[in-house]
A and B are shown apart, each in its own frame.
Chain A
Amino acid sequence: MNRSLVIPRLPTFIVPFARTVVVVFAALLLTLGLLGVSGYNLASCLEALWDGTFGSRYGWGAVLTGSTPLMLTGLAVAVAFRCGALNIGAEGQLLVGTLMATWLGVSVDLPSWVMVPSLFACGLIGGAVWAGIAGGLRVWRGVPEVLSTILLNFVAVELVKFAVTGPLEGVPGTAQTDELPKSAMLLMLDRTTDLHVGIIVAVALSITLYVVITRTTFGFRLRAVGSNPLASTYAGIPASRSLMETMLLSGCLAGLAGAIEMMGRIGTLSQGFTTVGYGYTAIAVAMLARLNPLGVIASAVFFAALASGSREMTFAPNNVPDKLVEIVRGLVVLLAIGYGVVQLRSQKD
């Protein structure tokens, strides 16, 4: 994992980037191959793929909206991995952040200039607290965060299920909360699609985080500790504190991702939200982006396009069955992660 702040000169940057593009194309070819073998009309499928992604206004909306939570959770994972914390708990942190934001949202109704920042803050705090538990366990008891974060994911799922069937349940029997008031919802950028302001927040944060990680003393510190905590200690860098900060930062991003998704698109929290799995897809997003915050932007868009395009294929006239689409998505993720792993390992040599 290259945690150096060295930004490769253009030639050295182009090659790995081109290789990533190759992976994307390989994934597409695989998709087409699978569809062709199953007897589907390739031309028609391709058309659906295009329509569902960049070929229509609706497609663009779906892709950009879908990439928002992936971008933010992808950032959470990329930052954590880059700074030495194996945070597999983005999902749980996202859920807890969403839960907190939703709780505040349905409990009070204030003007939007108060509501929106407050709910954002809830998302940040919820995610940070959840990640902080794992961080604390690592720092004070040496519990590997790979373990604790995954286990906390399961706890978070149950927490959400409990909340939406119990204290936060809106209409009894629906297993979902009331809708967030209008004041808490994010500005829509395009009323014909779901596209909301969250995408701008996500992209802005990606760029900001890139600068923070590579050009601030804060980022230097986190990366140093992530790479060699012992040498960092001897160099006067507080290792435990830095690791905790990494986890908290990561948790904040994941929690915010959930809050924004809630406030921008969904508007209500239900059990179904625990099955979407943004936090897990985020790992693939981060790997494909080679842990680079700027790369996460493109990577998230790719994964969102994959989801949207393949969903479009399930509609008429192609009617590709859901399961086939799932297979395709799974294979692409495998390719992306596998390639990411291969790249990271070859960087070690």
Chain B
Amino acid sequence: MTHDAIALRNIRKVFGDVQALDGVSFSLNKGEIHAALGENGAGKSTLMNVLYGLIRPDSGEIVVNGSPAVFHSPSDAIAAGIGMVHQHFMLVPDLTVAENLYLGSRSKQPFLFRQDVAQRDAQELVERYGLNVDVTRRIDTLPVGAQQRVEILKCLARDARTLILDEPTAVLTPQEVDDLNVVLRRLRESGHSIIFISHKLKEVLAICDRVTVLRRGRNVETLPIEEVDERALSEMMVGRSLTTLREREPTSLVAPVALELRDVSAEDARRTRMLNGVDLTVRGGEIFGIAGIDGNGQLELLEILAGVRQPLSGTVALSGDEITHLSPRERIERGMAIITEDRQHKGLVLEFSVAENVALKQFDCPPYAKRGMLNLRVFQDRADNAIQRFEIRASGPDQPVGTLSGGNQQKVIVAREVSLADRLLIAANPTRGLDVGAMEYVHQTLIDARNDGKAILLISTELDEILALSDRIGVLYSGNLAEITREDATRETLGRWMLGKREGDAA
């Protein structure tokens, strides 16, 4: 049995009247990659923040290399050889990689900053660990995957032997995820130990040696990775067996066309073609899924659909009426609903309550308002309804939405849009950042809406989501949309199409 590098024993932590951690234990062996898996709110981030010295536990102990340790702050944790890469990076965008590494370094810093010394030190780090990145470039010019490597280098620069990665793959493209896996394996080989906080089952299964599942602040189980599969892990995370999605009833080909785009093109501020003559139709009672890696025109497509951007050319029609130049308001009035990809900035007003957000798109129409005066009773009732129907975990309709977890925030948006959708519901990355339970919920909602006869346009970067839900599938690459038949739509083929490689197909 390998010696424990780090052990957390019986950790308890209370925040207000929430028991975030209820006697949780976690042990990390030397040279292993160990996942802390759980839904949002399960306590995995809190637990790791305790390990990193950001939070003092109410009780319990931390043991490092056999001896007990107390961390008053991250400095203590760092001194004990623990480094953490957070979900939201802590890098200075205007400075270069070398400068950022210099900022974090503990080495004897001369009073004057010397660019050449900083670069030389940074380059040495890069070579020693094989984490490829150009040290002379500014952070804000680097892709996210490279920024993450810089964060890892920061930890290594301070001689971390144990690395904690918080949701590292949330912001990476599939390619970058593969690159990260290579990096992690290499680190493991050189004797580092890694804690991998995640709720993404596939990645945990692909990269980790052991997994500890947490649920509602408690341990569920700790198992070697060979002994589990996706289904088992999901059930452990959620605490119940997951229901399969209700059967998709066959689509009717005579259903009316709800959305039609003809030859839509768009440019960004630098005159780059972001959308290139896109044609698309969605009928009632079907889900049309558009797969694609972020940055291939999805943003522009959504903006055009929402009415926030004018296309360079082409038309958009809703149930046969042209709406290309209509404002967002007019589209909402015609029953177009959009679940945006950016819930915090585009979907919700975080300071407002659940009730105010549920009413956000219809607050000046009856029954929410009459003759300019709001009917607060209706606000409350509608919100109560949404909370119940969608099982939103909130203390009540008056709770500010900004204090809800990501999954519950998304449920507020879903509740709002589903009841708003008359004929068309557009869902953009609707389950981004959501845990398994919430994801299942959203998917079921979309399927129910489809069975109800609504047309659904699903735009997502998650292949599994597209494959599970769509009746028809298209791939967006470099501004071009191409439809693929359901039979041909395997993960491999879709993956290739998403990278622009469409061999053997008519253009």
Residues of A within 8 A of B (CB): 1-6, 215-218, 220-221, 223-224, 227-228, 230-238
Contacts and interface: CB of A to CB of B under 8 A. Distances in A.
Given A224-B360, A234-B338, A235-B361, A216 B328 contact: no
19 contacts: A4-B400, A5-B374, A6-B353, A215-B374, A217-B364, A217-B373, A218-B372, A220-B363, A224-B360, A228-B345, A228-B351, A231-B346, A231-B348, A234-B308, A234-B328, A234-B340, A235-B360, A236-B330, A238-B329
B356 interface: yes
B441 interface: no
Contacts of A237: 329
B484 to A, nearest CB: 30
Contact of A227 (B351, B364, B374, B398): B351
Contact of B308 (A6, A217, A233): A233
Contact of A234 (B306, B350, B351, B376): B306
B345 A4 contact: no
Given A224-B360, A236-B327, 9 more contacts: A3-B352, A6-B398, A215-B374, A216-B369, A224-B352, A227-B352, A228-B351, A232-B349, A234-B306
A224 B374 contact: no
Given A221-B364, A230-B346, A4 B374 contact: no
A228 B328 CA distance: 16
Interface in B323-337: 327-333
A142 to B, nearest CB: 15
Contacts of A232: 349
Interface of B: 306, 308, 327-333, 338, 340, 345-353, 356, 360-361, 363-364, 369, 372-374, 376, 398, 400
Nearest to B352: A4
A228 B363 CA distance: 16
A217 B398 contact: no
Contacts of A1: 351
Given A217-B364, A228-B349, A234-B346, A5 B356 contact: yes
Contacts of A4: 351-353, 356, 398, 400
A226 B330 CA distance: 22
Contacts of A238: 327, 329
Contacts of B374: 5, 215-217, 220
A230 B346 CA distance: 6
Contacts of A218: 372
Nearest to B327: A236
Nearest to A211: B373
A51 B372 CA distance: 46
Given A224-B352, A231-B346, A236 B373 contact: no
Nearest to B340: A234
Contact of B363 (A217, A227, A234): A217
Given A217-B372, A236-B329, A227 B349 contact: yes
Contacts of A215: 373-374, 376
Contacts of A2: 351, 400
B347 A231 contact: yes
A17 B100 CA distance: 46
Nearest to A215: B374
Contact of B345 (A3, A224, A230): A230
A234 B327 CA distance: 9
Contacts of B351: 1-4, 227-228
Nearest to B375: A215
A235 B338 CA distance: 9
A232 B400 CA distance: 16
Contacts of B369: 216-217
A234 B352 contact: no
A232 B345 CA distance: 10
B398 A231 contact: no
A258 B297 CA distance: 53
A221 B349 CA distance: 12
Contacts of A217: 363-364, 369, 372-374
A238 B328 CA distance: 9
A154 to B, nearest CB: 33
Nearest to A349: B403
Contacts of B329: 236-238
Contacts of A231: 345-349, 360
A4 B353 CA distance: 6
Residue among A5, A218, A230, A231 having the largest count of chain B Cβ atoms under 10 Å: A231
A232 to B, nearest CB: 7
Contacts of A5: 353, 356, 374, 376
A99 B349 CA distance: 40
B255 to A, nearest CB: 27
Nearest to B379: A5
A236 B332 contact: yes
Nearest to B331: A236
Contacts of B361: 235-236
Contacts of A220: 356, 363-364, 374
B356 A236 contact: no
A228 B356 contact: no
Contacts of B363: 217, 220-221
Q: Which 5 A-B pairs have the closest CB atoms?
A: A236-B329, A217-B364, A228-B349, A236-B328, A236-B332
B258 to A, nearest CB: 19
A212 to B, nearest CB: 9
Contacts of A216: 369, 372-374
A279 to B, nearest CB: 27
A92 B153 CA distance: 54
A232 B359 CA distance: 12
A145 to B, nearest CB: 20
Nearest to A220: B363
Contacts of B333: 236
Contacts of A234: 306, 308, 328, 338, 340, 346-347
B448 to A, nearest CB: 24
Contacts of B372: 216-218
A327 B497 CA distance: 73
Given A216-B372, A216-B373, A234-B328, A224 B349 contact: yes
A221 B376 CA distance: 15
Contacts of A224: 349, 352, 356, 360
Nearest to B333: A236
Contacts of B364: 217, 220-221
Contacts of A236: 327-333, 361
A47 to B, nearest CB: 46
A298 B451 CA distance: 57
Contacts of B330: 236
B217 to A, nearest CB: 22
A180 B350 CA distance: 50
Contacts of B350: 227-228
A216 B374 CA distance: 5
Contacts of A228: 345, 348-351
Contacts of B338: 234
A238 B308 CA distance: 11
A59 B58 CA distance: 56
B379 to A, nearest CB: 9
Contact of B332 (A223, A227, A230, A235): A235
B185 to A, nearest CB: 40
B400 A235 contact: no
Contacts of A233: 308, 328
Contacts of B348: 228, 231
A223 B349 CA distance: 10
A309 to B, nearest CB: 37
A232 B373 CA distance: 19
B154 to A, nearest CB: 28
Contacts of B356: 4-5, 220, 224
